[in-house]
Amino acid sequence: MSTTIKIKHLNQYYGRKQALKDVSLTIRTGMFGLLGRNGAGKTTLMKVIATLLPKSEGTVSVCGRSTQSAGEVRKIVGYLPQEFSMYPNMTVYEAMDYLGVLSGLGKAERRERIKELLERVNLTDDRRKKVKALSGGMKRRLGIAQAILHDPKVLIVDEPTAGLDPEERVRFRNLLCEIAEDRIVILSTHIVGDIEATCEDIAVLDEGSVIYQGTVPDLVSMTEGKVYSAQISKRELELLKKDYIVTSMLTLGNNVMARFLAEEKPFSSAKLCEAGVEDAYMYLMHMERGIPE
Amino acid sequence: MERYWQIEKVNLKHNIPLHAAVCLLVLLVSPLLLGVENLGEQDSAKVLEIYVALIGIVLIPPVFLPEQDHDIRDLVFTKYIDSRIVYLIRLVGNLLLLALMLGIYIGMLRHNECEFPAGKYFCGTLAEMLFLGGLGLFFYGLSDNLVIGYMVPIVYYITAFGSGSKYLQMFYPFSMARGSYHEKVWLLAAGALLVSAGIWIRCKKR
Amino acid sequence: MFGRLFVKECKQTVKSLVYWVIVLILIFDFTSQLGDTEIARKPEPGQEEYGYKSSHDPELIMKSVLGELTEEYYRESYTTYPIGFYKNVTLNEEDDRRIAGILKEAAGIDGREAAGQMVEDWYALQQETGTLGAAGEEIHREPLKVDPAEGLTYERFGELMDEADEILGGGSDYCKEYRENSAKVAMTYEDALEEYKTLTEKDRLTGGYARLFSDYMVIFLGILPVFLSVTRGLRDRRAMMQELIYTRRCSSFTIVVSRYLAMTVMLVLPVLIISLVPYLNCVEYAQRAQISIDNLAFVKYTFGWLFPTIMVVTAAGMFLTELTDTAVAVLVQGAWWFVTVFGGIGRLGGGMYGWSLAPRHNTELNWQGFHDGFAQLAANRLFYTAAALILTGLSVLVYSQKRKGRLKIRGKILANRKSKSEA
């Protein structure tokens, strides 16, 4: 059986608005990152794959199963929406058990899986807590546990790190990487750091179109030799912003340490830097929209 | 003042049209269901107390509905206008709307040559509406569940019908048809208490 | 999967506040209405009165119905109860002439003057015999009776009265149901004994009381289930759990039907438990009076009479909630209940079940009426059971479509409300 997700010429409309434009993607085992700003169409794409939205045009097949036959796809897909919760009066264990029944797991299987998964997401001690008493991070972890409860071949997580503190975020990424060892994990985010640390393959969406698909190193190499940094005054910064894409800055007293993109060395005090994913992402977004003049 | 009017305008435009439409429908179909012509005092009281007063249940509990979503509630409660005032304005607005509909309805009855003391019945029916609606608002606030907010006054109404004045005493809602009016004063007082308590609880609970 | 889900749903129901409120209301309903009911005693000879019963004598029916028509025609004012509310009807000239024609054919009374004469004579007679007080207040009124025209058959009489009822807009004293119960005659000791025998022998006591029990419970069961099903229907959305459930492999059929079954079972359970009280009363009485009872009567009536109502109210609430994601089902059910209960006020005595959502039979007696109306009652209950199943099927359909992202009605209706209702 096929172990890839194949999306061909997918178009998606909300009334007159087109949310996805001719999207074609092939997604293989491992972590796959979907990057793009808010409203780029990431959630729409994920919902189509998870059979929560009917596709308007094109074909989407998940491990050889068309999303038309939703029941077949649901058996092998786990989904964690951006915003979710569970019945507030159920305990962590009860909620997992309920969802386990809905996934068609037998009694012994449920007991074993839930124990194992709560261990894995570090919620074993909280299994008797009511869902309404969980913190944001705990709820996220419970969310991941419920999504892989039925051991799906494909795991789809929508903006999972939003609202987590830095420590939680790192733990969460590592958890996803472990899970991705033997299955497809699709992760959407607008935080570049999440992708940098975890994904091999990525796609960048902008206004419903795929503007990049490939590996992270390939993306970074696009800006190789184009990233500079310079210490300049605050007034100079305004001028710099007009001519170049500033990807980050750090205020140092009256001066600013700016990092920016340029095709060639712009002035003598600028130093060439090693390119990062963030730089490449900014470059890509501005290429699509046109570099500021 | 302008700000308060703005709050009410949003209420009128976005929050209650559906509920107001239900009330209108209830009143408009009434001639098909019951007699609205040439009624005496007792039968007019029946129409008003047993039928027309029901729109109070429809229109008062939804005062809390726009903030049903907890995220929206958090947002609204951090605004600098006290949310109790927002609820109060909505409540007064809905009550005025009820009074308007009731007034027109009573005018229609009088036009159809029903004979009854219009002012007295108007106040009595409005007091009953406030009580039934207040009952809903109070339990909605308490349980944070609109369904319970509808359930309690509806069950109260049915109980009043089944067991009558035996259990409800001075809170018996259909007293005018029996020629007794002092129950309405009790209903008015209890209604005012219930809506105040309802709003207080709602804002307290966050 | 179905069985486990069913059990989980039942547990959820037990934990919900609305459910316990419903149970309390049912208990209250029972104790306030039936709590102190005494089991009927065997009538003793020599009692002052034994109550009244409807006569089925066509002659008597025609006389009293025509008396009513004569009086109302003379006063130019008719009383009807289209949905149980008093409605006064005055007719325009053409309809007035049609009623005059009917009265002439049925009773040979020609015109308002002749009718007036009959009414005045009757009134004078009433005063003479002392049944009317000096000021005209009623003491014990003997209704006006008018002889039918010579050669008027009972069939033709029926046709004419149906026409009169139609002219008056329905719910008048001349419609079939009312007119056949219009002639009341006082019961004798023998009649009362006969009734008692029917109750204890044909109904074996519990049958009659199970019907009375059903009569009281069905009123509340005509609306309470909707609160449970609306709450359940909205719970997933409120808990923001919809998408987690939607993406499970479990079929929409299993999800919706297990919920439905759990709700109806959990609703019928307290009814069965409450019915133990009147059942035990009957057992106690039967032991003393040495009669044999039907031990399963309350169970039969609960499932035959009450369960279809529970089913259809639950299903309608579930369907509307699934379709709209709002509590609108409460208002719809409220309206349905209102029309049903007030429309049934004239049919309390049993035997006239029609297509009512809540068929009434407000007496432990009238086995004959039950027997005669049984076919109608069975058709009625089957109809609502079928309607409940269809509504459940439609709920499955709506649920499966929503799961795939179609049919987002709430989004469409309330799309502009969500964002702007912040003030």
Does the beta-carbon distance from C249 to A83 stay under 8 Å? no
Q: Are residues A39 and A139 in the same domain?
A: yes
State residue C413's pLDDT score. 42
- Strand C52-54 versus strand A57-62 pairing type: unpaired
8 Å CB contact between C93 and C106: no
Together in a domain, A27 and A63: yes
Per-residue model confidence (pLDDT) at position A212: 92
Q: Which two tokens stand for residue C365?
A: 């007696």
Partners of B155 on chain C (C-beta within 8 Å) are 25, 224
How far apart are the C-alpha atoms of C120 and C117, rounded to whole Å?
5
pLDDT digits (tens, 9 = 90+) for A52-70: 999 999 999 999 999 999 9
Looking at chain C, the whole-number percentage of residues with pLDDT higher than 70 is 92
Ranges of H-type helices in C344-366: none
pLDDT higher at A261 or B70: A261
Domain count, chain A: 2
Please return the burial class of C282, using the count of CB atoms within 10 Å of its CB with bins 0-12, 13-18 and 19+: buried
The pLDDT value recorded for residue C409 is 58
The ipTM of this complex is 0.88
C140 vs C95 pLDDT, higher one: C95
Q: How many domains does the structure of chain B reveal?
A: 1
Verify that A171 and A103 share a domain, yes or no. Answer: yes
Closest CA to B160 of B46, B61, B59, B31: B46
- Which of A12, A75, A77 has its CA nearest to residue A43? A12
Domain that holds residue A261: 225-274
Taking phi over 0 as left and psi of -120 to 50 as alpha, with beta for the rest, C39 belongs to beta
Q: Mean pLDDT over all residues of chain C?
A: 87
Report the side by side order of strands in the sheet with A227-233. Answer: A245-252, A255-261, A227-233, A271-272
Tell me, yes or no, whether A191 and A108 share the same domain.
yes
Is the Cβ pair A87, C5 closer than 8 Å?
Answer: no
Whichever domain contains A90, its CATH number is 3.40.50.300
How confident is the prediction for chain B on average, in pLDDT? Answer: 88
Inform me whether the pLDDT recorded for C412 exceeds 60: no
Q: What global pTM score does this model have? A: 0.86
Is residue A285 in a domain? no
Q: Is the pLDDT of residue C423 over 50?
A: no
pLDDT, tens digit, 9 for 90 and up, residues C174-193: 988 788 877 777 788 888 88
Nearest to C381 by CA among C293, C295, C308, C291: C308
> Which member of B14, B79, B143 has the closest CB to residue C420?
B14
pLDDT one-digit tens code per residue, C43-97: 888 777 777 777 888 888 999 899 999 999 998 888 887 766 667 787 888 889 9
pLDDT digits (tens, 9 = 90+) for C97-115: 999 999 999 998 888 999 9
Q: Are C389 and C341 in contact (CB under 8 A)?
A: no
Per-residue pLDDT band for C5 (boundaries 50, 70, 90) equals very high
Residue A133 in domain: yes
Please report whether residue A293 resides in a domain: no
- Range with lowest mean pLDDT among A282-286, B166-170, C130-134, C241-245: C130-134
User: How much of chain C exceeds pLDDT 90, in percent?
Assistant: 52
C-alpha to C-alpha distance for B176 and B42, rounded to whole angstroms: 7
Residues 6+ apart with CB under 8 A from C64: C143, C145, C182, C183
Same domain for A231 and A199, yes or no, is: no
Contact A54 C406 (CB under 8 A): yes
- Chain C residues at the A interface, defined by Cβ less than 8 Å, are 1, 4-5, 8, 12, 15, 235, 239-241, 243-251, 255, 403-406
Judged by DSSP in three states, C382 sits in helix
In which band, very low, low, confident or very high, does the pLDDT at A161 lie, cut at 50, 70 and 90?
confident
Give the residues of chain B that fall short of pLDDT 70. Answer: 71, 76-80, 206
Q: What is the pLDDT of residue C141?
A: 61
Asked whether residue A210 falls in the same domain as residue A236, the answer is no
pLDDT at B17: 86
Residue A290, pLDDT score = 62
**What distance in Å separates the CA atoms of residue C269 and residue C276, rounded to the nearest whole number?**
11
Answer whether residue A1 shows pLDDT above 80.
no
User: Could you tell me which of A217, A170, A178 has the C-alpha nearest to residue A194?
Assistant: A170
Q: Do B60 and B195 meet the contact criterion of CB atoms below 8 Å apart?
A: yes
Model confidence band, residue C414 (pLDDT cutoffs 50, 70, 90)? very low
Beta-carbon contacts of B84 under 8 Å, excluding residues fewer than 6 positions away, are: B199, B200, B203
* Cα nearest neighbour of C251 on chain A: A71
Judge if A249 and A133 occupy the same domain: no
Task: Name residue, tokens 């109809």.
Answer: C383
Number of CB pairs < 8 Å for A and C? Answer: 76
Residues A230 and A136 in one domain: no
Q: Is residue A291 part of a domain?
A: no
Domain that includes residue B22, residue range: 2-205
Is A177 in the same domain as A129? yes
Output the CA–CA distances (angstroms, integers) from residue B158 to B61, B138, C223, C309, C412, in the order listed.
18, 18, 10, 17, 35
- pLDDT digits 0-9 by tens, C301-339: 999 999 999 999 999 999 999 999 888 999 999 999 988
CB contact under 8 A, C405 and A78: no
What distances in angstroms separate CA C298 from CA C30, C41, C207, one per listed residue?
14, 20, 7
- pLDDT at residue C410 tops 80: no
Residues of chain C with Cβ-Cβ distance to A88 below 8 Å are 239
Residues A209 and A262 in one domain: no
